[in-house]
Amino acid sequence: MIFDFVNLLSKRGKQRAMHQIGYQKILMEKDHLTNSKTTANNWLASQVIDETSKAKIRQLLNQENPKELIDSFYKNLEFGTGGLRGLMGVGPNCINRYTIGLATQGLANYLNKTIKGQEIKVAIAYDSRNNSKAFAQTTADVFSANGITVFLFPELRPTPLLSFAIRHLECHSGVVTTASHNPKEYNGYKAYWSDGAQLVPPHDKNVINEVNALKGFEDVKFTPDKNRIKTITTEVEDAYYAEVKKLIPKQDAIVRQKNISLVYSSLHGAGITMVPECLRGLGFENLTIIKEQETPDGNFPTVESPNPEEKTTMRLALEKAQAINAELVMATDPDTDRVGFGIKDATGNFFLLNGNQAFSLMMWFILTNSKEPKNAYIAKTIVTTELVDDMASAFGLECHNTLTGFKYIAELMGELEGKKKFIAAGEESYGYMVGDFVRDKDAVSACAFFAAMAAAAKDEGKTLYDWLLTMYTEYSFYKEGLVNLVRKGAEGEQQIKALMEKFRNTPPSKIIGEKVIRTLDYKLGEETNLITGTKTKLALAKSDVLQFYLEDGSKISVRPSGTEPKIKFYISVKSTLKSKSDFDSANRALDEKIASIEKEIIQ
């Protein structure tokens, strides 16, 4: 049970609620099963669906337990914060050739209706996941069959290069087939607009409307016009590397510290095709690559999940760095838009920076080493550390907060383009972007930037850990925790919705003894000051996110994931760090506070 509702509901009320939930669950399962069987039989009747897929559908229909059938057929996949993403398998709620085809046909129809009087062009990339290359080819085939010129990467490449290529090649749209950092069973489809950013309203909804308007797979043009499919050359990568080099500060320090020891892992993903070359192109000569994870492999054989947020995923890289006394560890996820960093503490032991720490340290370095104009700004998401807001304020810069998802940061960049200078952006989930030549989180340039930071620190006789503590003493010591509760399938989706509604309808008045003084409900678009009772409209678009601010400055955010079957709890606490010698004790105190909050809200 999520949240302690003992003080919120009477015993009789709780019993009534549980009976109602149970009754609704029965109705929901019955309804989903009926609809799923109907949809499955429609797939069987289609002349387009291949026999292997039909055999799997018959198997699902004949299973005594209908859970997999329901999960695969009870709804159509929708665009979330990361585009189209799901388990690979048969059915409209899975990623397969047919759902990829439908999404592409819908996007092609929208492009043909929207772009008039010119040749429509799209760029396509793919990562190392199982079937990513085949899904990319299906995407290219459908676009070409609809009279659209396609620029297709000949081999796997990082997602940020796709974002760059769209603008560089003057394309109207783009697609990369990937499921980012999800487990191996997943794949997906990230769709981009002409600005190099992922689709945002109204484009995302309009594409879905076009998909929904399709009567069936017979409306999808799967037969390609091969003359319209072009191969992207290395000229695009060369142009990207040139842009990265422009934004790297203190390159003289790299010359002096070119032998600084760096460790990198691509976690069996696309990063191996660009990160090492980018680092070497900047002059770094002592790069150790984790060989066991160097070969692209969609089964990700050395990790449970290819997510650099998880310490177990980073184990091999951290062990190697410890063994060779390296300065910095870097590991990128399969499509190379996220990166995890490891640095040494005062005793020489490696630990992982969380996404908030890494982004804050990056911003501290940028702000303390550059003079930006007054009309410059940085951006972050509403669940990312407010330490960055504090630093921006101290330097007289605007810090814009957006909804979760880099597509909203890119949307903001488009709105402010030509009016204000963009510096950098980041989010707590290991996504960073410096400079505006890419309009999505970019682990390739982030690796280059952090390596340059490590070189600059060493050139001063310091470490990134020294800088981290300096930052905390200059500003507040913020620390964050993240809790993910996974709830899979149709039943899990209903559970997540029910949990969000319980937090919304019966919010806590106190957490760990601290009064809740402000609540922000982005679904209602409303902020409530619980001290004065004042309600204020929120400026951002509506989204299913709740935030609770406590009297001591702590913040708890709750939201369903837009890309995975989970509900996420973001916990942020802070204190004052008077001196670096107090760090260990202050760090323990904040860890204990996070644990106490977690224990109270998750029962």
**Neighbour-count burial for 49-68, b at 16+ CB within 10 Å, e otherwise:** beeebbebbeebeeeeebbb
Long-range pairs for 55-59 at CB < 8 Å and ≥24 separation? 56/89, 56/90, 57/90, 57/91
What are the CA-CA distances from residue 201 to residues 192, 418, 520 (Å)? 12, 22, 22
Question: What dihedral do alpha carbons 519, 520, 526, 532 form, nearest 10°?
Answer: 30
Q: What are phi and psi of 491, to 5 degrees?
A: -65, -40
What are the CA-CA distances from residue 279 to residues 248, 284, 297, 366 (Å)? 11, 6, 23, 19
SS3 342: strand
DSSP code of 541? P
Q: How far apart are CA 69 and CA 91, in angstroms?
A: 8
Percent of the chain that is helix, strand, coil (3-state, to 5)? 40, 20, 35
SS3 459: helix
CA 54 to chain centre: 33
Q: Do the Cβ atoms of 178 and 245 come closer than 8 Å?
A: no
- Catalytically active residues are 180
Helix (H) or strand (E) holding 471: helix 464-474
